[in-house]
Structure 1
Amino acid sequence: MAENGSKKIRLGMVGGGTGAFIGYVHRVASRIDGDYDLVAGALSSRPDVARESGRNIGLAEDRIYTDYAEMARAEAARPDGIQAVSIVTPNHMHFGPAKAFLEAGIHVICDKPITSTLADARALAEIKPKNGAKFLLTHNYTGYPLIRQAREMIESGRLGKIRVIQAEYPQDWLTEATSDDNKQASWRTDPARSGAGGAIGDIGTHAYNLLRFVTGLTTEAVSADLTSFVPGRQLDDNVHILLRFEGGARGMLWASQVAVGSENGLQLRIYGEKGGLEWRQDNPNYMWFTEFGKPKQLLTRGGAISGNAASTMNVRIPSGHPEGYLEAFATLYSQFAEVIRGGGADYDGLLPTLRDGIEGMEFITASVKSSQNDGKWTKFSDV
């Protein structure tokens, strides 16, 4: 049983075999609140690795698959078949599995970005899921309690009309050229597997989704400068993007994987007519709030000045004890479990959807087009 007494959801996984970082993260996140039981998987496109990986995590032999399409057919036909599947493959292998499992009536939990091309993302939206199968996109940073606190504060007018948004996500792990031996790097720098965007698709979409989730603003256009600093690299490793929003707000987004000394520096700063917010992912249990003309206030996860249910519903331990990356992932998993069980009305607008995934691909595509045209302002409707 799950921690809340509900029956566990039978989960499958596509991708995420031995040595895959994000597959391990998804498996841990699915277990934190006890909502899922991983019972099947097609964990690699290489049959030997798929079988070895399945055995390593304890899957039954008859539920270790070497092909996702076979897995979708077989599991849909079983009386004890999986109810949901996690897709944790490289970007170019998101569309096929998502389509197969949705059409089989199996709920889909997909890592971001939703697909490797905007055309595939839009095609996915045209699919008619069998039996009302649902879709979750794991923009996990939206699961942090203080990010939801920030969203509530902006919705309630605490900051006034939003004027300026600054989002950044610097890393340094791709500062040098990489070899094919580095699996995590090789597919992310390969247009055939990653898609049109490098750093912008890998981490820029996280920063963009986060600012949209928190502010609720609608993007009008982007002006982008995408750069590949490492000689021979085919995709961007550094991006600077200006954003215009409906209502007059302006934004700046920087994402880099060649920022030496930066490990995982996602941060968000939002300024309105009446106040400002500052939050960093490397210290996610704290957020600064400043009302104009008053001293800064330090808001804490689960603290006395937290807001309503959206920011506290998945606070698992008392304030002062740190929660982080895995718990934010787990929040999406546990809340999606309630949606699968037929509830989850309280999570409307809080869980990233297929529509968010399409917008992420519009953001990538418009930014690439803008950069190719020397930073020309480009609307999503133009891509």
Structure 2
Amino acid sequence: MNRLRWGMIGGGEGSQIGPAHRLGAGLDGLFTFAAGALDHRADAGIAYGRSLGLGDRAYGSWQEMLAAEAARDDRVDLVTVATPNATHFEITRAFLEAGFHVLCEKPMTMSVEEGEIIVETARRTGRICAVNYGYSGYSLVRHMRAMVARGDLGRVRLVKADFAHGHHADAGDADNPRVRWRYDPAQAGVSAQFADCGIHALHMASFVTGQEVTKLSADIVSCIPSRTLEDDAMVDFRMDGGTVGRLWTSSIALGRQHGLAIEVFGETGGLRWSQEQPNQLYHMPLGGRLQVIERGEADLSPEADRTSRVTVGHAEGMPLAFANIYKDLAEAITATKEGRAIDPAADLYPRAEDGLRSMAAVAAVAESGRNDGAWRDARPPMFR
């Protein structure tokens, strides 16, 4: 496979997410980092881009990058959008319209209406629009999905997902700019903690079970009273395959560090996985003994084998999970160029449709929370 060219918008010096994307995109030698508009400050973005080897393809703005790359014969094949949430829609739409494939950080948009426009644009242009639910790239998460799909658990009765941390538990952080914006409706939209972390857990539930959320009921609260938006949420949901769902997400859970975990309970077995211990998947067969499945061991599913790089017993972490999303996208883009079908084990990257479903869930959680937990339709209008 020839190397594809990759560009990035946002993720500049000091960014939390930028290094993980650069590590992930470069890990397998499938992409060359070719272009970037890495900072909203033009001079800083150009300087940092040049320090990373971009030369004259380090741009001062995404608009400059779009115009210049669109005019090149060796334009980038994939653009990652890792800018503040409120800018995702405009940038993603513009690059899709110009014929670029896009990987957008979550949340994909700030509203359901914007999400539907992105889905329609991707379908009309025939471009890939992926959303970075990067935790779905973990090898054993993909093995969970494969086990559920092949019937190892029988019919899935219940899925429970958590994403709870305690990093915003200090009420004295009210004026910390890295925290404050998350609870400001003008910058974060209608939801804080659920839109930030809860949608990762909800996507994980859908990804592993192969089912979509149809309706939900939410109890949301601002445990720190000065916050306009919620810092804790408990969500019950129902899925289109009949599975019952429970989800807890919080930013005030002192003692929790990352906190993403998922459990799946079926007629004939149960599974349990945590992002903080990603190399082990716990499987409890009905009437059997608890089994520990190790990442990298023999006889796992093709989906797990494809996404495991180092030998059993050695840790793989979040940048390698991101790398699996990029590995999927490289296969998808190359398959499109070559006019062939994508490898089924690679056809797992989160789509714009997933990003849209997340925004519909965010809107439903906010509305349900305002109405004492009343059940709300969690499907986007275009999917009803």
From 292, 313, 321, the counterpart of 2:314: 321
Query: Contact (CA 8 Å) 1:105, 1:130: kept in 2 or not?
Result: no
From 61, 64, 71, the counterpart of 1:70: 64
From 265, 286, 291, the counterpart of 1:292: 286
Output the CA distance in 1 between the equivalents of 2:44 and 2:192.
Answer: 26
Q: Secondary structure at the match of 1:21?
A: coil
Query: Contact (CA 8 Å) 1:91, 1:195: kept in 2 or not?
Result: no
**Per-residue deviation at 1:101?**
0.8
Counterpart of 1:339 in structure 2 is 332
Q: Does 1:283 align with 2:277?
A: yes
Output the CA distance in 1 between the equivalents of 2:72 and 2:102.
Answer: 18
Matched ranges for 1:139-288 at <5 A: 139-177=133-171, 178=173, 182-183=177-178, 185-288=179-282
Specify the code of the residue in structure 1 equivalent to 2:41: R
Counterpart of 1:3 in structure 2 is none
Specify the code of the residue in structure 1 equivalent to 2:361: F
Q: Secondary structure at the match of 1:94?
A: helix
Output the CA distance in 1 between the equivalents of 2:221 and 2:231.
Answer: 6
From 42, 51, 73, the counterpart of 1:56: 51
**Per-residue deviation at 1:67?**
2.1
| C-alpha distance 346-95 of structure 1, shift in aligned 2 (>3 A) | same
From 20, 26, 41, the counterpart of 1:46: 41
Q: TM-score, normalised by structure 2?
A: 0.93
Output the CA distance in 2 between the equivalents of 1:103 and 1:246.
Answer: 33
Q: Secondary structure at the match of 2:53?
A: coil
Output the CA distance in 2 between the equivalents of 1:57 and 1:204.
Answer: 33
| C-alpha distance 74-130 of structure 1, shift in aligned 2 (>3 A) | farther
Output the CA distance in 2 between the equivalents of 1:219 and 1:302.
Answer: 31
Query: Contact (CA 8 Å) 1:366, 1:382: kept in 2 or not?
Result: no
**Per-residue deviation at 1:242?**
0.6
Counterpart of 2:2 in structure 1 is 7
From 96, 104, 110, the counterpart of 1:102: 96
Counterpart of 1:22 in structure 2 is 17
| C-alpha distance 193-347 of structure 1, shift in aligned 2 (>3 A) | farther
| C-alpha distance 131-252 of structure 1, shift in aligned 2 (>3 A) | closer
From 282, 290, 297, the counterpart of 1:303: 297
Structure 1 residue runs of 5 or longer lacking an equivalent are 1-5
Specify the code of the residue in structure 1 equivalent to 2:334: R
Indicate the larger mover: 199-208 or 339-348.
339-348
Output the CA distance in 1 between the equivalents of 2:330 and 2:141.
Answer: 21
Query: Contact (CA 8 Å) 2:37, 2:58: kept in 1 or not?
Result: yes
Counterpart of 2:119 in structure 1 is 125
Indicate the larger mover: 173-182 or 213-222.
173-182
Query: Contact (CA 8 Å) 2:86, 2:109: kept in 1 or not?
Result: yes
1:78-116 Cα shifts (integer Å, max 9, x gaps)? 122212111001111111110111111111011111111
**Per-residue deviation at 1:349?**
4.7
Output the CA distance in 1 between the equivalents of 2:190 and 2:38.
Answer: 25
**Per-residue deviation at 1:72?**
0.9
| C-alpha distance 246-124 of structure 1, shift in aligned 2 (>3 A) | closer
Q: Secondary structure at the match of 1:371?
A: helix
Q: Secondary structure at the match of 1:352?
A: coil
Query: Contact (CA 8 Å) 1:276, 1:290: kept in 2 or not?
Result: yes
1:235-254 Cα shifts (integer Å, max 9, x gaps)? 21111001122343211100
Q: Does 1:378 align with 2:376?
A: yes
Specify the code of the residue in structure 2 equivalent to 1:134: I
Q: TM-score, normalised by structure 1?
A: 0.93
Query: Contact (CA 8 Å) 1:105, 1:129: kept in 2 or not?
Result: no
Output the CA distance in 2 between the equivalents of 1:232 and 1:254.
Answer: 22
| C-alpha distance 166-129 of structure 1, shift in aligned 2 (>3 A) | closer
| C-alpha distance 328-14 of structure 1, shift in aligned 2 (>3 A) | same
Query: Contact (CA 8 Å) 1:244, 1:251: kept in 2 or not?
Result: yes
**Per-residue deviation at 1:217?**
2.0
Output the CA distance in 1 between the equivalents of 2:121 and 2:263.
Answer: 37
**Per-residue deviation at 1:347?**
4.3
